[in-house]
A = this chain, B = another copy of it.
Amino acid sequence: MIKSGNKSSSAAEDYLERIQELIEAKGYARMVDIAASLGISQASVTNMVKRLDTEGFVLYEKYRGLVLTPEGERIAKEIARRHRILTDFLSQLGVSSEEVERDVEGMEHHLSLDSLEAIERLCQQLTCHPDLLAKIKHGSNKGIL
């Protein structure tokens, strides 16, 4: 789903993003950690990691662990950026954090660079126009006084 270089599916992008997060947080990403973090079985993780290896996104040795390749890291960082921008966007609009999380997790795989950066610039503008945001959020607060 990402532009230049090799193509990666939504699922692959989620794996790469999460693997990168785990490595940043703890220095490594074990199968068991990836599985727990994504809420899927270890067996499924083993399968996908094998595929990510054959596709050149990770280096993987049986029972020995895995690391991201430069290409894998590039995609991980790109998808993390999409995640950040979209999270910021929907949060600014006043959507609850649970919904933001669900929506972003799906949407992040379906945006062109142009759309993403337009939304990024929009967020920037919205930041200096709290009046606009107030009006937008108002509609979601019908029942709250």
Contact = CB atoms under 8 A, between A and B. Distances in A.
Interface of A: 90, 93-96, 99-100, 102-103, 105-107, 109-112, 114-115, 117-119, 121-122, 125, 129, 132, 135-137, 139-140
A121 B100 CA distance: 17
A111 to B, nearest CB: 5
Interface of A (DSSP majority class): helix
A117 B110 CA distance: 19
A93 B118 contact: yes
Interchain residue pairs A-B with the least CB separation, the first 3: A106-B110, A93-B118, A99-B112
Given A112-B95, A125-B135, A90 B103 contact: no
Given A110-B103, A132-B125, A139 B115 contact: no
A90 B106 contact: no
B129 A132 contact: yes
Contacts of A96: 114
A119 B94 CA distance: 10
6 contacts: A103-B110, A103-B111, A103-B115, A110-B110, A117-B139, A129-B132
A110 B132 CA distance: 25
